[in-house]
Chain A
Amino acid sequence: MISRVVRSRLLGALIGVMLISWSSLSMAKSLPINTRLGGDFELPSTLKTEAGNPGKLAKLSDFKGKVVLLNFGYTHCPDICPMVLARMTQIVKRLGDDAKEVQGVFITFDPNRDTAERLSEYIPYFNKTFVGFTGTEAQIAQAAKQYGVIYLPQRGESEAGLLFSHSDFIYLLDRQGRVRALFATDEPLDKMANDVRSLIAEE
């Protein structure tokens, strides 16, 4: 009799442990808030002014309420920047209907060549909803600093002319504009899409 009680208690405890571990496994860990990086900026964008030309001043915080995928680059970049933009495009594609909850943002660190006009011919090629930002060198330097972005012009032996050595993270921002994840170029797309979904679910 006693042994049966002990056994059933043991069984109960075992089931309890299993339930706890199951629920902690199934409940995805929420992404930590990065308090070191991020912040708002207001810059000329690829959005159209009232006159109908690209260059409308916009803030990152205008996209508050949406999950943001943000990256820095330059349009004369032949390898890394189009790869990163293509990766952002593919994440958004994976989201299906949830894509409308996401805003892609590109900030150039080559504002002398990347005017709002040029950006508006370049960025929509990857995804029509993505918005590009440019500005003065000082404005760009400030925004880059907020996100810990490094970019250094370099003249090498290449016929490609002015190139930059630069960092290439995709920043994942939640609906409040807080940095929640940095994605390197070898981060699997499915994992990134899952992280985006977890922020969409946050409300």
Chain B
Amino acid sequence: MKFFQIVAIVSTLFLSVFAQAGKLTAEGGWVRAVPPVSKNTAAYLTLKNGSKKDEVLLHLSSKAAKHTELHTIVVEPNGAKKMQKMPHATIKAGTELEMKPGGYHVMLIDLVKPLKEGDTVELEFIFQHAGKLSLSLPVKMSEDKAEGGHHHHHH
């Protein structure tokens, strides 16, 4: 398995993030700032699999929290939304996994210290083929675009 060097460009002006491991890229990541009293938060980003092979996200971790998990939100028949831990995620060849509020997210549980707007959070993903992908994401109060309901992606 080839390990690619981490490429993470964090622009504090545009708060855009791009990182790459082989044909696997991460874009638009951010972490939600939460009140100091809150010990959990979520990270969001889009993982694009530009290769011809299906890719599996096997493991993820962060030094910012005691536990890092992949979660998704399931809508139950009564309309209630349920957060569910996913052991791993498959990103089919040529597709992407979009993480956003109310959907897939990286759960950061038991934050080591409170996160405030302007901080950065280091995340590390391990993929079946692409290997390790490390990135640092900006902490933001919210992503206006994601929460305006303006863009809808269907997979």
**Chain A interface (Cβ < 8 Å from any Cβ of B):** 75-76, 78-80, 82-83, 86-87, 89-90, 118, 121-122, 125, 150-152, 154, 156-160, 163, 165-168, 185-190
Q: How far is the CA of A188 from the CA of B78 in the complex (A)?
A: 23
Cβ-based interface call for B82 (8 A)? yes
Q: Are A78 and B42 in contact (CB under 8 A)?
A: yes
Q: How far is the CA of A75 from the CA of B40 in the complex (A)?
A: 9
- When distances are taken between beta carbons in the complex, the residues of chain B under 8 Å from A166 are 80-81
Q: Are B85 and A82 in contact (CB under 8 A)?
A: no
Q: Are B32 and A158 in contact (CB under 8 A)?
A: no
Q: Are B38 and A122 in contact (CB under 8 A)?
A: yes
Q: Mark B24-56, 1 if CB is under 8 A from A, else 0.
A: 000000001011111111100000000000000
Known: A118-B37, A150-B79, A150-B80. Is A80-B102 also a contact (CB below 8 A)?
A: yes
Q: Are B83 and A79 in contact (CB under 8 A)?
A: yes
Q: How far is the CA of A189 from the CA of B141 in the complex (A)?
A: 16
- When distances are taken between beta carbons in the complex, the residues of chain A under 8 Å from B105 are 78-79
- When distances are taken between beta carbons in the complex, the residues of chain B under 8 Å from A190 are 148
- When distances are taken between beta carbons in the complex, the residues of chain B under 8 Å from A163 are 82-83
Q: Are B81 and A83 in contact (CB under 8 A)?
A: no
Of A121, A151, A159, which is within 8 A of B80 by CB?
A151
Dominant secondary structure at the A interface = mixed
Q: How far is the CA of A190 from the CA of B79 in the complex (A)?
A: 24
Q: Are A79 and B101 in contact (CB under 8 A)?
A: yes
- When distances are taken between beta carbons in the complex, the residues of chain B under 8 Å from A156 are 83-85
**Chain B interface (Cβ < 8 Å from any Cβ of A):** 32, 34-42, 66-67, 69, 71, 73, 76, 78-85, 101-102, 105, 107-110, 141-142, 144, 147-150, 152
Q: Are B69 and A158 in contact (CB under 8 A)?
A: yes
Known: A83-B147, A159-B69, A165-B80. Is A185-B102 also a contact (CB below 8 A)?
A: yes
Name the residue on A nearest B140 (C-beta): A86
Q: Are B148 and A188 in contact (CB under 8 A)?
A: yes
- When distances are taken between beta carbons in the complex, the residues of chain A under 8 Å from B107 are 78-79, 158, 160
- When distances are taken between beta carbons in the complex, the residues of chain B under 8 Å from A159 are 66-67, 69, 109-110
Q: How far is the CA of A158 from the CA of B65 in the complex (A)?
A: 14
Q: Are B85 and A158 in contact (CB under 8 A)?
A: yes
Q: How far is the CA of A158 from the CA of B73 in the complex (A)?
A: 13
Q: Are B80 and A152 in contact (CB under 8 A)?
A: yes
Of A82, A89, A151, A187, which is within 8 A of B149 by CB?
A187
Q: Are A188 and B80 in contact (CB under 8 A)?
A: no
Known: A121-B37, A150-B78. Is A186-B141 also a contact (CB below 8 A)?
A: no
Of A83, A154, A160, which is within 8 A of B40 by CB?
A160
Q: How far is the CA of A122 from the CA of B34 in the complex (A)?
A: 8
Q: Are A186 and B152 in contact (CB under 8 A)?
A: yes
Name the residue on B nearest A152 (C-beta): B80
Q: How far is the CA of A185 from the CA of B100 in the complex (A)?
A: 12
Distance in angstroms from B143 CB to nearest chain A CB is 9
- When distances are taken between beta carbons in the complex, the residues of chain B under 8 Å from A189 are 144, 147-149
15 more contacts with CB within 8 A, not counting A79-B101, A118-B37, are A76-B39, A78-B40, A79-B73, A82-B32, A90-B147, A150-B79, A151-B80, A158-B85, A158-B109, A160-B107, A165-B76, A168-B102, A186-B152, A187-B149, A188-B149
